[in-house]
A and B are shown apart, each in its own frame.
Chain A
Amino acid sequence: MSDDLFRYVLRLADDHLVLGQRLGEWCGQAPSLEEDLALANIGLDCLGQARALYTYAGKVEGKGRDEDALAFLRPEREYCNALLVEQANRDFAWAIARQFYFSAFMLPFWRAMAKSGDDDLRAIAAKAEKEVAYHLRHSAEWVIRLGDGTEESRRRMIEALEELFIYTGELFEMDDVALAMVSEGVGVDASDLLDEWRRTVDGVLAEAHLEAPDAAYAQTGGRAGRHTEHLGHLLSELQYMQRAYPGLEW
């Protein structure tokens, strides 16, 4: 039970730290000052959610690892985030598509988690649900603005939505850890969220006059530590300071 719970919480934490780091990469680089603030703020929400989740994961594990140890001292293969969130910031449309797919999933996920039998997860979820509603609205508005915008913005939005689509299936995957957590009354059955996710995505894409992508298969492996080439580069930046100067504090 507690090992499954540890792994379950750790996944969620990894999703949010990795996505928060990707969003932080936009700081000073976004297309406008408002977007710079927006992406940094969404990244901060993700980071805050990750911190609460890591702290709880460390408590569940009971080996004295705190949020920093879990974030900065685990190698790539021990990271169990979904592949979607580690995908690189190819351009702004790419960041928006990644956020849109993820937030459209996390909103019903946190809503369901807010009814979990686990006190800590319930508290984290109640707060996160309200934050994610803003993330989804922000990214959905951009999908429409870019998709229904100029020829160039439309081309880029379509490309991002199509190429990232193969990573969305993993979000709904239910492996032994997730199933165990559902049967304990702690976790969320992600496969139940697919219909709502699809309705959100299709509704926004229709408004953007875009066709909803489909994928013949889903690229998975993140939950088991098998990542795309992007995660290692991200972690080398994220973890540099603690690797170079172990135990450094300021």
Chain B
Amino acid sequence: MGVVVAGALNPSNVRSRRAWDVAAAVPDPEIPVVTLADLGILRGVECNDDGAVIARVTPTYSGCPATRLIEQMVLEALKRDGFENVRVESVMSPAWTTDWITAEGREKLRAFGIAPPVKSSNSIRALFGETAVNCPLCDSGDTERISEFGSTPCKALYRCRTCLEPFDYFKCL
């Protein structure tokens, strides 16, 4: 997705690349250890010939309260870096899935104490499919779900039976 970098770098795609890097580095407002690129919610950045910059982001959950804030943060980051005439568009299709979280993003989540999604997003169709989640602190597989819904829409609450610590689990979507 995003920037076309094939061929010689003309001035316009040097700018596109720069704009992508700036938008990609914006932290998620709810989990600031990961960036928008880590989460896979930055879908593309384009620079038009007339100088306009268009960044496309996609919401995680329909009701995610951070969606508008994220758009605002991308806008401000690009302007701070000297880009003018910036627009942020929200794209609904294709729908975001936790499969788009990068390997680096998953590792950052784990290091922060949030267990990354364990299965592919298709697995939630099973009505009572229990998900085996490893504790992000001690890596024990002996954990239990306390609540399907945690402090933000994307997380569930778990508890580790080995080290007894509660932790957040980033749900598959």
Contact = CB atoms under 8 A, between A and B. Distances in A.
Given A37-B147, A45-B153, A134-B148, A126 B62 contact: no
Interface of B: 59, 61-65, 92-97, 121, 124-125, 127-128, 146-151, 153, 157, 171, 173
A128 interface: yes
A126 B64 contact: no
7 contacts: A122-B93, A124-B62, A126-B95, A127-B96, A130-B124, A134-B171, A137-B128
A9 interface: no
Contacts of A124: 62, 92
Contacts of B157: 34
B148 A138 contact: yes
A200 to B, nearest CB: 7
Given A44-B65, A123-B93, A38 B173 contact: no
Given A130-B95, A136-B127, A38 B62 contact: no
A123 B146 contact: no
A131 B61 contact: yes
Given A45-B62, A134-B149, 7 more contacts: A40-B149, A41-B149, A45-B61, A51-B62, A127-B59, A131-B173, A141-B128
A133 B122 CA distance: 11
Contacts of B149: 34, 37-38, 40-42, 134, 138
Dominant SS at the A interface? helix
B121 A119 contact: no
Interface of A: 20, 34-35, 37-38, 40-49, 51-52, 119-120, 122-124, 126-128, 130-131, 133-134, 136-138, 140-141, 200, 203-204
A34 B64 contact: no
A249 to B, nearest CB: 14
B92 A127 contact: yes
Looking at B65, B128, B151, the one whose CB has the most chain A CB atoms below 10 A away is: B128
A119 B92 CA distance: 10
Nearest to A16: B62
Nearest to A120: B92
A200 B127 contact: yes
Nearest to B58: A127
